Structure 1
Amino acid sequence: MTIPPPTPFPYAEFDGHPATEADLRIPAFLNYGHFTAMQVRDGKVRGLALHLARLDSANQELFDHALDGERVRKLIRHALDGAGVRDASTRVYGFLPPGDTETTVMVTVRGPARKSTEPHGLMSVPFARTVPHIKRPGEFGQTYYARLAARAGFDEALLTMPDGAVTEGAITNVGFWDGASVVWPAAPSLLGITMALLERELPGAGLESVRRPVTLDGLGAYRSAFLTNSQGIAPVGRIDGVEFTVDEELMERIGQAYDAAPWDTV
């Protein structure tokens, strides 16, 4: 598998104005910050309250002050208007430049994206993120191992602890199906918004959702697996040399559960 070329640079705004050269020095030289990524359709986002809560929680942990959700919504709307789009892949970043007392908010807008529904191959790698519950820019380890996986013919890297415990994908959460329940690895990881929505909606679709330890040497206990991130849901076809059945009925039910999550106006 070849590594795809980088996508075009997105439209970006800082605190409600188009990015200037001075603005862009902030993310270029200061990667201590946090962000959330979302898909916008017709000016709406699934799980918007979860995105805003993620930003506020991370901001308080990193910078010791809140990040107002209404301010963030206004900035997202302004950036979408500035880009002249209603459908987009949008990211919201929080930075605190030295000497500032208020968070600088960068909003980026690029074309909408949808995750490929083809079975994905995952290569396990010996890496776990520091402070994994915060979504942060400039994660060298994730990018490094994702590129190694791509060079080896895989679609994604699967991050694991030294004892073989599965945590998450490089840019995804991973779920497993044991024939009775959807199992999410009980390990330090980022709670992705799509995963959080599924945990909430799966019981309504008649699917039990649980968290318990998952290890590389125990993968044979699971019939199927899937990935989630802001771009959607995809089945897993293999992890290293372990093959998984793509359960079309299961994927349809998971997809229906995700579709049950309402769209919120930004």
Structure 2
Amino acid sequence: MTTPAAAALPYAEFDGRPATEDDLGRALFFNYGHFTAMQVRGGRVRGLDLHLARLDAANRELFELPLDGDLVRRLIRHALESAGTADASVRVHAYLPPGNTATTVMVAVREPGGMDPAPKSLMSVPFARTAAHLKRPGEFGQTYYANLARRAGYDDALLTLPDGSVTEGAVSNIGFWDGTAVTWPQAPALSGVTMGVLERGLPGAGLKSLRRPVTLDGLGAFRSAFLTNSLGMAPVARIDGTAFTVDAELMGRLAEAYEAAPGEAV
């Protein structure tokens, strides 16, 4: 993925009120927490139930506190209304600053986004995120290796384990296609919401979906590959020296499966 252009700062609310300098300072200096990122169109989100389940599970794991989905939806609606839009990129962050007994929820709203659909080149790197199943801010390792990959002429990094197992992209999930089924790497990684929506929708589009180990030395078994994240999907043209077919038909079927999922009102 190409380096994003500079963008305006998002509109942010903390627990339903406009962010103050103190709020932002607390989030900066006490950033132990988690988040989810989503695309909102017409006040609706595909896979909203997965986003809410992610937030609640992470909050229970990190803070031993539930995070009510109805509360999160109200906070998102309020932030969208305050920002004057129903189409946006939205992030919901959860923190528990020192001394607090209740979770602080920040909702950030900015302009709608999307993934550049151009085929991507990935450089494999030896890095695995701590507690990879959690979506967290401030991931230094991912940014570090993504920048190294771009300097080497690639679009992004592909994270791998010491034994060569493929886990995930720097900010994405990766799927592989062998002509018969979509394979998601069975390894420590974040279960992305776009990936989750596809897993539910692929059988209805006539595509098998499975999880099994994928290794760098086994990439030749696959014809095509693709990335998914909250911004969308894009094909993979190569990983290191292994080239993949950019399959327009496959990408179309993936898009069809994703777009068939109904958007849920926030």
CA distance in 1, matches of 2:2, 2:106: 31
Give yes or no for contact 1:2–1:151 (8 Å, CA) kept in 2: no
Partner of 2:94: 94
CA distance in 1, matches of 2:28, 2:112: 24
Partner of 2:129: 129
Matched, 1:37 2:37: yes
**Counterpart code for 1:214:** V
Partner of 1:14: 14
**Counterpart code for 1:167:** T
- The alignment yields a C-alpha RMSD, in angstroms, of 1.1
**Counterpart code for 1:22:** D
Q: Deviations over 1:46-68 (max 9, x none)?
A: 01111001000000000001001
Give yes or no for contact 1:177–1:224 (8 Å, CA) kept in 2: yes
CA distance in 2, matches of 1:137, 1:7: 18
CA distance in 2, matches of 1:2, 1:35: 23
CA distance in 1, matches of 2:87, 2:150: 28
- The offset of 1:8, in angstroms, is 2.0
Q: Deviations over 1:1-36 (max 9, x none)?
A: 974443221111100111100000122101210000
Q: Moved runs in structure 1, 4+ residues, more than 6 A?
A: none
Task: Map 1:193-232 to 2 at 5 A.
Answer: 193-232=193-232
Q: Deviations over 1:136-161 (max 9, x none)?
A: 00011011111111222222210000
Matched, 1:67 2:33: no
TM-score, with normalisation over the residues of structure 1? 0.98
Give yes or no for contact 2:175–2:226 (8 Å, CA) kept in 1: yes
Task: Map 1:184-199 to 2 at 5 A.
Answer: 184-199=184-199
CA distance in 2, matches of 1:26, 1:184: 37
CA distance in 2, matches of 1:18, 1:182: 43
SS at match of 2:202: helix
Which range moves more in the overlay, 146-155 or 18-27? Answer: 146-155
SS at match of 1:107: strand
Partner of 2:28: 28
CA distance in 2, matches of 1:61, 1:224: 36
CA distance in 1, matches of 2:115, 2:13: 26
CA distance in 1, matches of 2:33, 2:7: 22
Give yes or no for contact 1:226–1:233 (8 Å, CA) kept in 2: yes
CA distance in 2, matches of 1:90, 1:30: 21
**Counterpart code for 2:190:** L
Change (3 A) 1:44 1:24: same
CA distance in 2, matches of 1:226, 1:172: 10
**Counterpart code for 1:206:** G
Q: Deviations over 1:33-88 (max 9, x none)?
A: 00000000011100111100100000000000100111100100111111111110
**Counterpart code for 1:237:** A
- Count of aligned pairs: 266
Partner of 2:181: 181
Partner of 2:85: 85
Change (3 A) 1:38 1:2: closer
Give yes or no for contact 1:183–1:211 (8 Å, CA) kept in 2: yes
SS at match of 1:45: strand
Partner of 2:114: 114
Give yes or no for contact 2:2–2:155 (8 Å, CA) kept in 1: no
Give yes or no for contact 1:12–1:106 (8 Å, CA) kept in 2: yes
CA distance in 1, matches of 2:139, 2:149: 16
Which range moves more in the overlay, 131-140 or 3-12? Answer: 3-12
Residue identity over aligned pairs, in percent, reads 69
Q: Which runs of 5+ in 1 are unaligned?
A: none
Change (3 A) 1:2 1:112: closer
CA distance in 2, matches of 1:21, 1:7: 20
SS at match of 1:75: helix
Matched, 1:146 2:149: no
TM-score, with normalisation over the residues of structure 2? 0.98
